[in-house]
Amino acid sequence: MLDGTLRPKIDPVLNAIARSLAANGTTANTLTTVGLLIGVLAGVAIFFEYYLVGLVLLLISRLCDGLDGAVARINGSSDFGGYIDIVFDFAFYGLIPLAFILANPSANAVAGGVLIFTFYVNGASFLAFAIMAEKQQLKTEKRGKKSFFFTTGLAEATETFAVFSAFCLLPAYFSQIAYVFAAVVLYTAAVRIWQAKNLLN
């Protein structure tokens, strides 16, 4: 939901950094991969309960995630780049709740499992919609130029990062935050299914 509001504010900064990176030979796929690796380090830090370190690494990981698209727009995008971008994003989204589960299973396991389940449902609704939209040659650039049809919703990257940040800042309240966000994610999936009913023939 907030991605569209923030894009006009942060894109000029990302584009300026991306131009410098592209000029030095950095590729979008490199940034995508580095972003995931830093996300894995964030998960390791969270597992060992270094939550503030995890938060800083989360921020760097998501910065890489924003920069890869900006560099791709400069150097030219590729289908493989779009593919690993979405795969690595979903890996990251599952990794962080898993890290909190492993850090404190007795307190976090059920809520974390519920949240990962809702991510699974939402991801399926997102990717299945993209496949059907491609089949029917539907187009959209609501979130900028993407490698596939990118449906918007209440729970997007900005909201997910905000929730992951809240986990790191308030780890004792992981379960409460996770249950609330799980409801938001399921609502997003339900709305997307309703959109599919109305848009897809």
Place 140 in a pLDDT band, splitting at 50, 70 and 90: low
Residue type, 137: Q
Task: Enter the tokens of residue 158.
Answer: 């900005």
Q: Report pLDDT for 148.
A: 47
Report the domain count for the chain.
Answer: 1
Tell me the angle at which helices 105-135 and 174-199 cross, rounded to the nearest 10 degrees.
Answer: 20
Q: Look at residue 102 and tell me whether its pLDDT is greater than 70.
A: yes
CB distance 196 to 129 below 8 Å: yes
- Range of 3-12, 102-111, 155-164 with top mean pLDDT: 102-111
* Neighbour-count burial of 190, counting CB atoms closer than 10 A to its CB (0-12 exposed, 13-18 middle, 19+ buried): middle
- Report pLDDT for 1: 56
CA distance 89 to 85: 6
- The arithmetic mean of pLDDT across residues 22-50, rounded, is 96
Going by pLDDT thresholds of 50, 70 and 90, the confidence category of residue 4 is low
3-state secondary structure 64-97: HHHHHHHHHHHHCCCHHHHHHHHHHHHHHHHHHH
- Identify the CATH number of the domain in which residue 16 sits: 1.20.120.1760
Q: Which are the contacts of 6, defined by CB distance < 8 A and separation ≥ 6?
A: 158
* Contact by Cβ (8 Å): 76, 131: no
The more confidently predicted of residues 134 and 6 is 134
Predicted confidence (pLDDT) at residue 149 exceeds the cutoff of 70:
no
Whether 143 has a pLDDT exceeding 50, the answer reads no
pLDDT of residue 133 exceeding 70: yes
CA atoms within 13 A on the CB side of 12: 2
> What does the pLDDT read at residue 150?
55
pLDDT of 158 higher than 80: yes
Across the chain, what does the average pLDDT equal? 88
pLDDT tens figures, 43-76:
999 999 999 999 999 999 999 999 998 999 999 8
What is the structure's pLDDT at 59? 96
Q: Quick one: pLDDT band at residue 201, thresholds 50, 70, 90?
A: low
pLDDT for res 141: 54
* Helices and strands of the chain, counted as H and E runs: 7, 0
Nearest Cα to Cα of residue 150 among 59, 201, 85, 95: 85
Residue 38 and residue 61 in contact, taking contact as beta carbons nearer than 8 Å: yes
pLDDT, average across residues 176-186: 96
Q: Write down the pTM of the prediction.
A: 0.85
Q: Is the dihedral of CA 114, 117, 121, 127 positive or negative?
A: positive
State the pLDDT at residue 2.
53
**Which residue range(s) make up the domain with 12?**
3-199
